[in-house]
Amino acid sequence: MDADAIVIGAGPNGLVAANVLADHGWSVTVLEANDEAGGSVRSAELIEPGFLNDVCSAFYPLASEGSPIDQLDLADHGLRWLHAPTVLAHPASDGTCPIISREIDETAATLDRFAPGDGAAWRGLIRRWTDQQPHLSRLLYRPFPPIAAGTGLATSLPPRELARFARFLVLPARRMGEEEFGSAEARRLLAGCALHADLAPESTLSGFFGWIMCCLGQVNGFPVPEGGARAVTAALVARLRSKGGTVHCGVPVERVETERGRAIGVRTADGGTARARRAVLADVNAPLLYTRLVATGDLPASVLGDIERFHWDDATFKVDWTLDAPIPWTSPEARRAGTVHLAEDTDALTVVASELARGLIPTRPFLLIGQQSMTDPTRQPAGRETAWAYTHVPRTVRGDGAGQLGTSWSADDVDGFAARMEDEIEALAPGFKRLIRGRHVLTPEGFEEENPNLSAGAINGGTAQLHQQLVFRPVPGLGRAATPLPGLYLASSSAHPGGGLHGAPGANAARAAIWHERTRPWRRWRS
C-alpha cells in the first residue's frame, strides 16, 4: 500500500485531497477505518426496504460553483444534483412562512407581503453577495491568510465602503436582521440560517454565516444528490480510481509513523504499515490526530496544550422517518420545500442557544428538516415520504430545559426527546404523527459510532465561532493545513474553513503538500 501520499480517512475531504493529488500525478492510497467509504456522506435503508435514508448529512449548499468539490466535475462520474421546488421554508404557528426560492422574484415577493421594502432589502443582500462572490469564495475556500483574495476584495471597494462591508461581515444575525429588514419573518429566516451554522443570533459572525446560507440558497439552492448522499462518495471514489488512486476500507490507522522528525507513513491496527514517499494527509478531527495518531514526542508541548482547549461544536441528535405520505404542513409553502427550519422567531432561537450554552436539552428544539420526496422521488415509493430532522443538544448534558429528561441519553431519554421533536412538527403539521411508519434515531454517541470523526455528533469539526476560525483553527497560530510535524497535513473540517461539503480542507491540504514537495524536496530523507 506504499504510495506518494497516504490519506487517512475516506470522508469527502480525504477523497477530495486524494483526487487533487492524483491530478498532479501523485500515487495515492486512502485508508478508511469503516467498511464503507464516505464518512458522514453515506446512505442506507435504515428503517425499511424501499426507503433510502442519508445516514448523517443530506443536503449540500456549499457544494456550489467555485468550491473545490465542484471543480472536480463529478458529473462526469455519475453525480447528478437535484433541487426542490422551494429551497427553504420557515413556518411558524401564526401561519407565516418566509421562504427562499431559487427565483429571486418569488423570494422577494414573499418577503414584501410581511413588510413592504423587505423584498428590495433581500435583493440588496443577494447583490452584495454576487458582486463579491469571487473574492469571498476564495476567502472561504483557500488557505488562511488568503492574500490574493483579500487584496482583491480590498481593491474592489472604496475605503469607506470597505469599512462598511467589514462591519457588515461581523454583525450578529439579530442586529443584521434588525438593520436590513422590517418584518420579524425575514429576520427569522436569517437567524435560522445562522443557527443552522451553529451560531447564536447574538454571536459575532452569526450574521455573516446566516447571510452566506441565505445567499447560497437563493443563488444555488440546497441541492441533494440523486440516489442519496452516497452518490457523492461513489463519484469521488470513481474519479480517484480513474486516476490510479486506491481506497482500502476496513483498515483503521493506529499511528502516524515518523523518521528524522518527519511523517513517513502510517501503522494500521492489524500491525501493517503503509509508507508515504511524499506526505501523509489526515481527514480526521484535530484532537484525534494530535492526541492519538501522533506520538506525544512528535509534537511541541505548546500545540498539545492548545489542543486541550479545542472547542467542539454542539452535539447532534437526528431522527429519520419513513412516512405514509408527505408531511401535511398547514403552510402550503412548507409543503414544497426541500428543507424546513422550525423555530417560532429570533427570540426562540436565542432561547435554544442559551439552553445549549448552559448544558440543557432544549425545551423547544430548533429543527432542521428534510423532505426527500420534494427533491428525489427515487428515495421512497410513490406517494410515501422519507424525512429526517436533526437538532443540536449539549455535548455534556447538565439537565433538561423542560425538566422531563435525564442526563445520560438512556433509552427513555432518547424516546422522550425524539417524541419532543415530533411534537414540534405535529404542531405545524397536524396528522404528522399518524403518518409515521418507522423511526430511526441517531444520538450523539450514535454519530460517533457511525463515524469516529464526528465526536458526539460535532458535524462542523469544531465550533464556527470567531475564536476558532482563521488563524485560530484548529489551534492558535496555524490556520493552514500543514501541521507542526513535517510531512503531515490536516485535511479534515477541523482545518480552515470548517464543516460542510465543499472539500476545501482536503484541497488545501493537498495543495500544501504539493507546494512543500516542490519547494522542499527533502532529497536526503527520500534517498
Q: How far apart are CA 318 and CA 442, in angstroms?
A: 5
| Percent residues over pLDDT 90 in the chain | 84
Cell numbers for 437: 411508519
Whether residue 383 contacts residue 399, with contact meaning beta carbons closer than 8 Å, is answered with: no
Give all strands (DSSP E) within 18-80, no chain letters.
28-32, 43-44, 53-54
In Å, what is the CA distance from 236 to each residue of 33, 245, 502? 17, 11, 13
Q: How far apart are CA 522 and CA 278, in angstroms?
A: 9
pLDDT digits (tens, 9 = 90+) for 128-169: 999 888 878 777 787 766 656 566 676 777 888 888 988 999
pLDDT higher than 60, residue 237: yes
Look at residue 511 in the predicted model and tell me its pLDDT. 95
pLDDT higher than 50, residue 527: no
What is the residue whose three cell numbers read 493529488? 21
Q: How far apart are CA 491 and CA 494, in angstroms?
A: 8
Q: How far apart are CA 72 and CA 16, in angstroms?
A: 8
Residues ≥6 apart with Cβ < 8 Å to 374: 84, 85, 86, 326, 336, 337, 338
What number is the average pLDDT over the span 324-333?
98
- Cβ-in-10-Å burial (0-12, 13-18, 19+) of 134 comes to middle
Look at residue 135 in the predicted model and tell me its pLDDT. 79
For residue 85, is the peptide bond before it cis, meaning its omega torsion is within 30 degrees of 0? Answer: no
The answer to whether the Cα torsion of 220, 221, 226, 230 is positive or negative is positive
Q: What is the dihedral of CA 518, 520, 525, 526, to 10 degrees?
A: 10
Give all strands (DSSP E) within 309-459, no chain letters.
315-323, 337-342, 360-361, 367-371, 385-393, 399-400, 436-442
Q: Cα 502–53–439 angle (5° rounding)? A: 130
pLDDT tier, 197 (very low <50, low <70, confident <90, very high otherwise): confident
Whether residue 386 contacts residue 54, with contact meaning beta carbons closer than 8 Å, is answered with: no
Instruction: Report the 10 Å Cβ neighbour count for 302.
Output: 12
pLDDT higher than 80, residue 70: yes
Q: How far apart are CA 186 and CA 211, in angstroms?
A: 12
Among the listed residues 39, 26, 25, the one whose alpha carbon sits nearest the alpha carbon of residue 276: 26
Cell numbers for 241: 480510481
Look at residue 526 in the predicted model and tell me its pLDDT. 41
pLDDT digits (tens, 9 = 90+) for 391-442: 999 999 999 999 999 999 999 999 999 999 999 999 999 999 999 999 999 9
Among the listed residues 63, 78, 62, 13, the one whose alpha carbon sits nearest the alpha carbon of residue 39: 13
Instruction: Report the 10 Å Cβ neighbour count for 520.
Output: 10
What number is the average pLDDT over the span 1-22?
97
**pTM of the entire predicted model:** 0.94
Among the listed residues 69, 60, 384, 87, the one whose alpha carbon sits nearest the alpha carbon of residue 226: 60
Q: How far apart are CA 25 and CA 4, in angstroms?
A: 9
Whether residue 479 contacts residue 472, with contact meaning beta carbons closer than 8 Å, is answered with: yes
What is the residue whose three cell numbers read 506520538? 295
pLDDT higher than 90, residue 36: yes
Q: How far apart are CA 287 and CA 458, in angstroms?
A: 12
DSSP for 113-131, written as a single string: HHSTTHHHHHHHHHHHHHH
What is the residue whose three cell numbers read 411558524? 92
Cell numbers for 289: 490526530
Q: Cα 415–416–421 angle (5° rounding)? A: 95
Look at residue 407 in the predicted model and tell me its pLDDT. 95
In Å, what is the CA distance from 122 to each residue of 132, 218, 398? 16, 10, 40
Whether residue 139 contacts residue 150, with contact meaning beta carbons closer than 8 Å, is answered with: yes
Whether residue 388 contacts residue 319, with contact meaning beta carbons closer than 8 Å, is answered with: yes
Residues ≥6 apart with Cβ < 8 Å to 147: none
pLDDT tier, 331 (very low <50, low <70, confident <90, very high otherwise): very high
Cell numbers for 28: 495515492
**118-141 and 147-156 helices cross at what angle (nearest 10)?**
150
pLDDT tier, 469 (very low <50, low <70, confident <90, very high otherwise): confident
pLDDT higher than 80, residue 524: no
Mean pLDDT value across the chain = 93
Cell numbers for 154: 480590498
